[in-house]
């Protein structure tokens, strides 16, 4: 029996993964539809970005209050170290990329809005210089995030296809429980 992440945590993991992919892809798909699509996509990107921020906060809370499964018993110390490193980088970029998106809006003197229901700011009169810096950092950190996600997903499928172990099932959206050793089981 494989120790699993709590169901709520696995749902958040996959929701966040899907949303990051949509937020990234929409910036490039819009270019196929010309300038008219730009304003609409920009609004959706910002508002869905705020939904992502809320999901990340909930994920952090669930991570702190729920019992997480023990470390995957991988015989390779190198793979274990690599997995820890990649997870730490994912957490860092998951927080930094949206932060830089918001920083860009503030630097350009634009407000932060959630569709048409909420608007806060603008907080500054706007600076082209800081706007350029923050949007470039937002873009390149987003590229880095996608690259690390590809590596992370490839590692998960390497476990499934080559090593033929249960690692991927740990993040399955299935009900889980805690056994007498306080380990999550399915
Ligand atoms: C197709 C895409 C993905 C696959 C197949 C995948 C698969 C997995 C699996 C199997 C685990 C459990 C690993 C273990 O228990 O050692 C895991 C954990 C994790 N995943 Fe993913 N994942 C994907 C996308 C993402 C994305 C987009 C992020 C966030 C940017 C992410 C962040 C994490 C983190 C941080 C962990 C460690 C547990 C934690 O601290 O939350 N994953 N993933
Ligand atoms: C992980 C989440 C996110 C990803 C992967 C992402 C990715 C991107 C990418 C690839 C671009 C295109 C940059 C370019 O080449 O021009 C972009 C632009 C932008 N992002 Fe994000 N972003 C995310 C979250 C956010 C958030 C939370 C906000 C703010 C609420 C935000 C605000 C913006 C803005 C204002 C632009 C410029 C839009 C435009 O003028 O079309 N992003 N983002």
Q: Which numbered atom of ligand 2 lies nearest the CA of 94?
A: 1
Cβ neighbours around 52 below 10 Å, total: 20
Q: How remote is the CA of residue 128 from the centroid of ligand 2, in Å? A: 17
DSSP structural state of residue 31: G
Angle (CA) 16 121 95, round 5° = 25
Supply 75's token pair.
């015989």
Domain count for the chain: 1
In a domain? residue 2: no
**Per-residue pLDDT tens digits of the chain, which is 186 residues long:** 789 999 999 999 999 999 999 999 999 998 888 888 899 999 999 999 999 999 999 999 999 999 999 999 999 999 999 999 999 999 999 999 999 999 999 999 998 999 988 888 898 999 999 999 999 999 999 999 999 999 999 999 999 999 999 999 999 997 655 554 555 554
Exposed/middle/buried for residue 124 (C-beta within 10 Å: 0-12, 13-18, 19+)? middle
In a domain? residue 1: no
Cβ neighbours around 112 below 10 Å, total: 18
CB 55 within 8 A of CB 16: yes
CB 3 within 8 A of CB 170: yes
Smallest CA separation from ligand 2 atom 40, residue: 42
Q: Which numbered atom of ligand 1 lies nearest the CA of 17?
A: 27
Integer distance in angstroms from the first to the last C-alpha of the chain? 7
pLDDT at 116: 85
Q: How remote is the CA of residue 13 from the centroid of ligand 1, in Å? A: 7
Q: How remote is the CA of residue 147 from the centroid of ligand 1, in Å? A: 13
Q: How remote is the CA of residue 109 from the centroid of ligand 1, in Å? A: 35
DSSP assignment of 33-52: G-THHHHHHHHHHHHHHHHH
pLDDT at 183: 55
pLDDT at 35: 85
pLDDT at 176: 53
pLDDT at 180: 47
In a domain? residue 92: yes
In a domain? residue 27: yes
Domain ranges, residue 82: 7-185
In a domain? residue 99: yes
Pocket of ligand 1 (CB under 6 A): 13, 16-17, 20, 72, 83, 87, 90-91, 94, 149, 152-153, 156, 167-168, 170-171
pLDDT at 161: 96
For position 99, which CATH number holds? 1.20.950
């Amino acid at each position: 029996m494989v120790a699993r992440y709590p169901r709520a945590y696995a749902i958040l993991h996959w929701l966040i993964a899907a949303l990051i992919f949509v937020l990234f892809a929409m910036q490039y798909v819009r270019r196929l539809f010309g300038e008219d699509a730009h304003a609409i996509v920009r609004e959706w990107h910002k508002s869905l970005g705020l939904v992502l921020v809320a999901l990340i906060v909930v994920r952090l809370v669930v991570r702190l209050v729920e019992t997480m499964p023990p470390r995957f018993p991988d015989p390779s110390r190198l793979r274990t170290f690599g997995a820890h490193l990649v997870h730490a980088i994912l957490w860092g970029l998951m927080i930094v990329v949206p932060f830089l998106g918001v920083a860009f809006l503030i630097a350009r003197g634009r407000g932060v809005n959630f569709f048409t229901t909420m608007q806060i700011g603008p907080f500054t009169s706007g600076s082209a210089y800081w706007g350029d810096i923050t949007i470039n950092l937002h873009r390149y950190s987003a590229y880095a995030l996608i690259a690390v996600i590809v590596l992370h997903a490839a590692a998960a499928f390497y476990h499934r296809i080559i090593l033929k172990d249960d690692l991927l099932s740990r993040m399955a959206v299935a009900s889980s429980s805690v056994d007498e050793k306080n380990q999550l089981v399915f």
